[in-house]
Amino acid sequence: MSTRTAVQGKAAHPLPLLTRWKTAWDGCNVPQIELADGFTRWLVISRACVFTMTIISGMLGLLIAAEQATRGAGSVNWFFGFLAIIGIMLAHASNNLLNDYMDVRQGVDTEDYPRAQYSTHPILGGLTTPNGLLKAAGLLTFIDFLIMLYLYTQVGAMVLVFAVLGFVLSFFYTNVLKRAGLGELTAFVVWGPLMTGGTAYVALNGMPLTTEIWALTLPYGLVVASVLVGKHIDKIEPDTKVGVRSVPVILGEERSKLLNKAIFILFYVIIVALVVLNYTGPGVLLTFLALPYLRRSWQKYSEPKPKKAPEGWTVWPLWFVGWAMHFNRKAGGYFTLGLLVNIGWHYISSLL
């Protein structure tokens, strides 16, 4: 058991409640976690700081469906779309819990492994027990199962295909895929075609997805994959020791940093191509407003990792993943805004 074992104390936490929640959401940790309320602790346990990627993937799917509906692809069921977003968030949380459980059981997560250093580990840090993690994951999976069954009855059998594929890839991620250099590709598929495409499918009441929709799922899936590449760059040495052959372990640090730069560029190449091909409206070009964030991330990928954490850096010893996420959040946010602009412009035009 870690020396940081969290024992619920009687002293007041130094941060106000809402600030505490925001801190856990933004950085996967809070100071003096042993004094935190239960909700904050579970935000940390479930690694809620990465849920933004899932929310963006789901929202993109819903808005892609809405935009395509303005082009004659059918009608949008917003309730089904939002229910699908809740489902993929629950699946993400459950997967995080199971990953931590399996990594401890297999000896990957230890006190000196980065997972237990950038954030209080659920088990090693004493926030919960292995059994507690399994129970929480089971509860989330059960709720997810009910959502899947409901959407299946309302939308069709393809709901099961999207859900089962996502579950299978997530289940085998820790044991097989991450160890075989396929973890980054898995992230691209899950957060791109499966999450975004699946949400679009549900929101369109089960209408077959067009080439345009499948193409629109690709850009954000790429920048999610870049986050995994960045994370695994940070973990090259410890991953090598425990036999995890991630893409950065295979390629090495410098070539992996070049890979992420290529992914950043490819994101914009695809965005421009989608507009030129008229798969979507020009509003998505708002993603170019994220270029200042890309420029800063690009700079960090062109420099060596600092020897110690800069002031305010919350996920040390991770570094490159933070800068991939720095761009990811802005690129995804502006992509979402761009789709909203496209939808809004259509409705305004229809009134003129």
CA dist 121 to 38, 233, 251, Å? 15, 20, 28
Label each residue of the chain as H, E or C.
CCCCCCCCCCCCCCCCHHHHHHHHHHHCCCCCHHHCCHHHHHHHHCCHHHHHHHHHHHHHHHHHHHHHHHCCCCCCCHHHHHHHHHHHHHHHHHHHHHHHHHHHHCCCCCCCCCHHHHCCCCCCCCCCCHHHHHHHHHHHHHHHHHHHHHHHHHHCCHHHHHHHHHHHHHHHHHHHHHHHCCHHHHHHHHHHHHHHHHHHHHHCCCCCCCHHHHHHCHHHHHHHHHHHHHHHHHCHHHHHHHCCCCHHHHHCHHHHHHHHHHHHHHHHHHHHHHHHCCCCCHHHHHHHHHHHHHHHHHHHHCCCCCCCCCCCCCCCCCCHHHHHHHHHHHHHHHHHHHHHHHHHHHHHHHHC
What pLDDT shows up at residue 311? Answer: 87
Does domain 33-345 fall into CATH 1.10.600?
yes
**What share of the chain has pLDDT > 70, as a percent?**
93
User: Could you read off the pLDDT of 281-329 as tens digits, one per residue?
Assistant: 999 999 999 999 999 999 999 999 999 989 888 788 899 999 999 999 9
**How many CA atoms lie within 13 Å of 24's alpha carbon, on the beta-carbon side?**
23
| Position 6 pLDDT exceeds 80 | no
| Position 7 pLDDT exceeds 50 | no
What pLDDT band is residue 341 in, cutting at 50, 70 and 90? very high
What pLDDT shows up at residue 115? Answer: 65
pTM over 0.85: yes
In whole angstroms, what is the distance from residue 93 CA to residue 30 CA? Answer: 18
- Angle subtended at Cα 142 by Cα 7 and Cα 148, rounded to the nearest 5 degrees: 140
User: Could you read off the pLDDT of 237-286 as tens digits, one per residue?
Assistant: 988 988 889 999 999 999 999 999 999 999 999 999 999 999 999 999 99
**From 37-51, 147-161, 211-225, the region with the lowest mean pLDDT:** 37-51
Instruction: State which amino acid sits at residue 182.
Output: L
| Position 4 pLDDT exceeds 60 | no
| Position 2 pLDDT exceeds 50 | no
User: Could you read off the pLDDT of 126-175 as tens digits, one per residue?
Assistant: 778 888 888 999 999 999 999 999 999 999 999 999 999 998 998 888 77
Least Cα distance to 53 among 295, 279, 228 occurs for 228
What pLDDT shows up at residue 118? Answer: 65
What pLDDT shows up at residue 111? Answer: 65
Q: What is the mean pLDDT of residues 164-189?
A: 88
In the chain, domain spans = 33-345
